[in-house]
Structure 1
Amino acid sequence: MGKLSQEYRWLLPSALEASDPGRRSTRDWLVDILVFLVGFGFTLYGTIDLLRPEPSFLVEQAGTPTWLVWTDFACATVAAVGLWFRRTRLLIPLAIYCLVISTFTVAAGFTLLIVLFSIAVHRKFSVLAIFFLGITATNALFPFIRPEHGRDYWWTAAWGTVFLLIACLWGMVVRARRQLVASYRDRAERAEAEQQLRVAQARATERNRIAREMHDVLAHRISLLSLHAGALEIKPNATPDEVTSAAGVIRASAHQALQDLREVIGVLRDDRPEGAPEPPQPTLGALPALAEESRSAGTKVSLDVSVEPDTVPAGTGRTAYRIVQEGLTNARKHAPGAAVRVNVAGTAGDGLVIDIRNPWPISGGASIPGTGTGLIGLTERAALAGGRLSHGRTPQDEFALTAWLPWPT
């Protein structure tokens, strides 16, 4: 059965054909009703006209035997009823049946043209060519079986072939148009699917960016909180002024952490003007404030920026700021109280170099959760910006965090 299906697959309906007549649309029903009325209407009218003593329409067929007229009517009626199944796999059997009766039928003239048109629309060109050659051959036999009075053989055969060609060409035009519409629909669906994929990818990229921003911003603030809370913990005999000062720094850092978190989450909102910068967007110009904030928390920071912040591209400046921020955060985590040296230098064309160094930590207390993830995020951030980042222990017994970022001319 499987082999038989493969062998005759070329006879099966194409993708443009409705698969089930019971699932016809309203338009399909209207078209099928009209097709049946045209096919059977011509059959009925032609039969009645031939049964008259003097036909008014089919004058050339006058004198046709009555038995042949009724035989033609019966066969044409079966063909007209078969038009209801022209959207299914029964189209080929119907076409073969019409091919047989086309040698003598007059009443099924329109039905034959409709079947030929349906094959041109719903079947491959090879099937149409075979059926057209077959019906052209039977059309050549028709004038011998039912000659027309007053017309010679070639006249009858030529006009029959012309009508067959018109039906074929019309069906091929309709099929080509449907294929064009189907290709446009397929392109539109693919474009929509690709657009949805791009939107999903953009959302995923934005979520990753927000996660990095949240880590970079909050890790800095929370490390300040941890530093001052630890100072209160190890100094139970601190003076009221020291406690008040530490509590004030903790409160300010917590307030600033909440403010930074609101700004980071704010990028998810759609009410921002198009093209407006997404907060937070600190650049190299904000490094002095960042260093002063670390100094107020007790970290000894030496900042040396030998470039003009306004000349550095905004994207490069943002990435450099995040690298310095993470470097100061790591120094507070792992080497509390140590002096940190931050150098930012470079020129357009050669790139921007960020170098952060502090003494290698001798010992540490309880580690803060998330240790190591910041450096991984910075490495990825630098790579996305087209740069590189390295970190580790130096021969001078220091921890060095060095990054290079491209600075186009």
Structure 2
Amino acid sequence: MSLRSAFAPVVVRWRAANPYALDTALAALVLFAVSLQWMFPDEGEDPLSWQGWLLGAATAVPLVWRRRAPCAAAGAVSVATPVQALYHAPPPDVMYGGMVVLYTLAALGKPWQRRMMLTGWIVGVVVTMQHQTDKEPFEYAFHLMGLVCAYALGMLARVQRAYTTELEGRARRLERERAADTAWARAEERARIARDMHDILAHAVSLMVVQAEAGPVVVRKDPERAEATFDTIAETGRDAMAQLRRILGVLKEERPDGEAGGRMPQPGVAALPLLVRQVRESTGLRTELRTTGVPRPLSSDTEVAAYRVVQEALTNTVKHARASRAVVELDWTEDRVTLTMTDDGRGPSASAGGHGLIGIRERAAACGGSAETGSGPDGGFRVVVRLPVATDREGALG
């Protein structure tokens, strides 16, 4: 254990103590120091008097108010010390009170106060000692160095306090920023989960509603096809449940080894052919998937976004467009993939509202892409989403 760490608890308790009690204890200590000449009168040759002791006490007692009234305390000590030195019964051997008030003003006072006090004490010491014929040259240096060192320690304490205050302020700012970042990340995660759950449920429920509406008609005319229809409803429901379990898996705590137990990856671009075929077989909507260009790697978030925007666009077509045909096109370039979903339904008036299109735009923006919606070239409704491809680093991490 280092010396600094050993004394750290003592320093913490000292700083946490009542400052008035500490100042009173410091004043008592200085009074004890200036009273040593009366306790051991045989050790020195200077004359002693009770008036001299009172002057010595006047250099110590004002230190009780050194932090509550630093200028007043410094002024009182600055007057009492040279008077004691000139009275010479006895003269101050060490200017304890002067060093304390210089330290205090250097640490707490304004610039003009501490500079004026340092200059006054240096001039006062030189002038006072000029009137004393028995002083040796080294005593000048001793007193002056004591004052300068006390002032330097006060300045060091001032700088240390300012540095500590700045660090504490920076720590508070960082804590606030971290809390804000955490709240933003949680909000983003909740929004992402809400979008995924909306897309999954809207798609599955739309397909199931279409099949359920056709079920009674098919049961009377073609029992075998009716059985297939109900199988499709069940399969759609199971698929939706599986995807919901994957989405809700992000809300569970990870295992101690850091791996997410039983958490399957979410569908991406590779699952689009299955999605298109599922919509075609479940609803009878003639759905086609076209791909141009060379497929390139996407980040994991972009993979999920590409799948979900196609899923939402097809869901809107099934629910609102009353279309007979839908085309999904993937156009790959060096820096992006463009997904275009077009149907021959009733056009923008039937699909312009709702949370689905908002979710498509939010997903595209979250991945650094863009989304456009509107009329198709031959009528109907069209959704165009442009997503960036992954960089080499994203591809390696994704």
TM-score computed with the length of structure 2 as normaliser: 0.78
CA drift at 1:242: 5.4
Matched, 1:111 2:97: yes
In structure 2, what is the Cα distance between the partners aligned to 1:270 and 1:331?
A: 37
Does the aligned pair in 2 maintain the 1:217–1:257 contact within 8 Å?
Answer: yes
> What is the aligned partner in structure 2 of residue 124 from structure 1?
110
**Identical columns (%):** 27
CA drift at 1:109: 2.5
| Distance change >3 Å, CA 174–CA 407, structure 1 → 2 | closer
1:119-174 residue CA offsets vs partner (Å, 9 max, x unmatched):
222223332111112222332343366x36x326x665444322211211222223
**1:1-400 paired onto structure 2 within 5 Å:** 25-26=16-17, 32=23, 35-49=26-40, 52=41, 55-57=42-44, 59=45, 62-63=46-47, 69-88=49-68, 90-105=69-84, 106-107=91-92, 109-143=95-129, 147=132, 150-151=134-135, 156-232=139-215, 241=224, 244-271=227-254, 280-298=265-283, 299-307=285-293, 309=295, 311-315=296-300, 316-336=302-322, 338-349=324-335, 351-361=336-346, 371-400=353-382
CA drift at 1:278: 7.6
In structure 1, what is the Cα distance between the partners aligned to 2:202 and 2:224?
A: 27
| Distance change >3 Å, CA 207–CA 72, structure 1 → 2 | farther
| Distance change >3 Å, CA 192–CA 294, structure 1 → 2 | same
In structure 1, what is the Cα distance between the partners aligned to 2:191 and 2:201?
A: 15
In structure 2, what is the Cα distance between the partners aligned to 1:346 and 1:112?
A: 82
CA drift at 1:359: 1.3
> What is the aligned partner in structure 2 of residue 14 from structure 1?
none
| Distance change >3 Å, CA 174–CA 337, structure 1 → 2 | closer
Does the aligned pair in 1 maintain the 2:367–2:388 contact within 8 Å?
Answer: yes
CA drift at 1:392: 2.0
Does the aligned pair in 2 maintain the 1:218–1:260 contact within 8 Å?
Answer: no
CA drift at 1:93: 0.8
| Distance change >3 Å, CA 111–CA 408, structure 1 → 2 | closer
Letter in 2 for 1:38: L
In structure 2, what is the Cα distance between the partners aligned to 1:48 and 1:355?
A: 100
1:192-240 residue CA offsets vs partner (Å, 9 max, x unmatched):
3322222222222222222222222222112112222333477895665
| Distance change >3 Å, CA 265–CA 77, structure 1 → 2 | same
1:234-254 residue CA offsets vs partner (Å, 9 max, x unmatched):
789566555544443333323
Does the aligned pair in 1 maintain the 2:202–2:315 contact within 8 Å?
Answer: yes
Unaligned regions of 5+ residues in structure 1, if any?
Answer: 1-22
In structure 1, what is the Cα distance between the partners aligned to 2:180 and 2:263?
A: 24
Q: Determine which of 387, 392, 396 is the counterpart of 1:405.
A: 387
Structure 2 residue matching 1:357: 3-state secondary structure: strand
TM-score computed with the length of structure 1 as normaliser: 0.77
Structure 1 residue matching 2:339: 3-state secondary structure: strand
* Deviating more after overlay: 179-188 vs 292-301: 179-188
Does the aligned pair in 1 maintain the 2:297–2:390 contact within 8 Å?
Answer: no
Does the aligned pair in 2 maintain the 1:72–1:104 contact within 8 Å?
Answer: no
Does the aligned pair in 1 maintain the 2:294–2:333 contact within 8 Å?
Answer: no
| Distance change >3 Å, CA 79–CA 232, structure 1 → 2 | farther
Letter in 1 for 2:199: D
